Each structure stands twice: as structure tokens, then as C-alpha cells.
């Protein structure tokens, strides 16, 4: 069972490592050149079952990862903050529920099927470090990152 847990969770982490975060824009600006990286695998993977959902649940409480935006811009009240952003996250709690089911194959044989039932991610404010670099307004705003850290965590 321990080997199965390690193999499945390593595969889940491998999928997360290859997630592409697209550039996005909004009314007041944009965030481009986005990357997400799992920095350190956890050695504390827990494996359990959810009998009501017929699911396997993998959870980890000490994942380290970071998000980087190589270019952002935010316009508000005639002022523009622009630059790069790096968000370092420690002790991230991730839970993934995989539902076990069956499906009919093309030859009508009954085959096993696995689907993602849920993904839960929790980050404590104290484990989130936001670094903004850029123009003078960006540098000023970075002094107050504690004001929007809670919004990101929620």
C-alpha cells in the first residue's frame, strides 16, 4: 500500500509540475509569463479512503512551491504599478480525492475508471511570501503585501 501511495502521489505532483498557467488580463491590467513550480516534494504523504465516494484520498501538509509572473501591470487612479512578482509558498496543504469507478470499453467490456473527485489547497498567511519588483509604485506597494496576503490565501 505504501508503494502505491508513493507512485500515485508522485504522479499527481508530476502533473502539477507540468501545469501551464496562461497569461491573463483584467480591467486594470495583466499578468504575463506565469510559471508554477513544486520546489520540494513532501515526505509526509497520507493515504486514506472515502468509502461513501468510493475514493482514494492523498493528502500532504508540507509541500513547498512558488509562482512567478515575469511581467505584470496594474493601473488604478491614473497610477501604474508594473514589474515582476514571485510568490513563495511553504507548508502548502494539498488533498486530492480520486474516485474509483467503471466504464464500458469499445467492446462492451467493463473497465476500471478513475476520475478526480476534488482537489483542495490551503495556504496559511504566515507561509506565503510575496515579492514584487518593478517601478517605484510597485516597490511602494510591496511594503504593504501583508494587506493582500489574506485575500490570496482565502
pLDDT at 13: 76
pLDDT at 109: 93
pLDDT along the chain (154 residues), means of 10: 68 76 88 86 79 89 88 85 88 88 92 90 84 75 53 46
Q: Specify the CATH number for the domain of residue 21.
A: 3.15.10.10
Range of the domain at 7: 2-153
What is the chain's length? 154
pLDDT at 124: 85
- What are the beta bridge partners of residue 122? 93
Spatial contact of 125 and 147, defined as CB atoms under 8 Å apart = no
94: exposed, middle or buried (Cβ count in 10 Å: 0-12, 13-18, 19+):
buried
Total structural domains in the chain? 1
CA count, 13 A, side-chain hemisphere, 14: 6
Answering whether pTM is above 0.85, one says no
CA count, 13 A, side-chain hemisphere, 139: 3
21-53 pLDDT per residue, tens: 889 888 888 999 998 888 866 667 888 888 999
pLDDT at 27: 87
pLDDT at 103: 93
Amino acid at each position: 500500500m505504501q508503494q502505491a501511495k508513493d507512485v500515485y502521489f508522485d504522479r499527481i505532483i508530476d502533473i502539477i509540475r507540468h501545469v501551464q498557467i496562461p497569461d491573463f488580463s483584467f480591467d486594470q491590467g495583466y499578468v504575463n509569463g506565469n510559471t508554477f513550480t513544486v520546489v520540494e516534494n513532501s515526505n509526509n504523504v497520507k493515504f486514506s479512503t472515502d468509502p461513501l465516494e468510493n475514493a482514494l484520498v492523498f493528502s500532504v501538509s508540507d509541500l513547498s512551491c512558488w509562482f512567478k509572473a515575469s511581467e505584470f501591470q496594474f493601473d488604478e487612479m491614473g497610477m501604474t504599478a508594473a514589474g515582476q512578482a514571485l510568490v513563495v509558498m511553504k507548508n502548502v496543504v494539498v488533498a486530492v480525492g480520486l474516485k474509483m469507478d467503471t466504464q464500458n470499453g469499445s467492446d462492451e467490456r467493463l473497465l476500471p475508471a478513475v476520475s478526480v473527485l476534488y482537489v483542495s489547497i490551503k495556504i496559511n498567511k504566515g507561509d506565503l511570501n510575496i515579492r514584487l519588483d518593478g517601478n517605484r509604485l510597485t516597490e511602494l506597494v510591496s511594503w504593504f503585501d501583508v494587506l493582500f496576503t489574506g485575500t490570496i490565501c482565502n
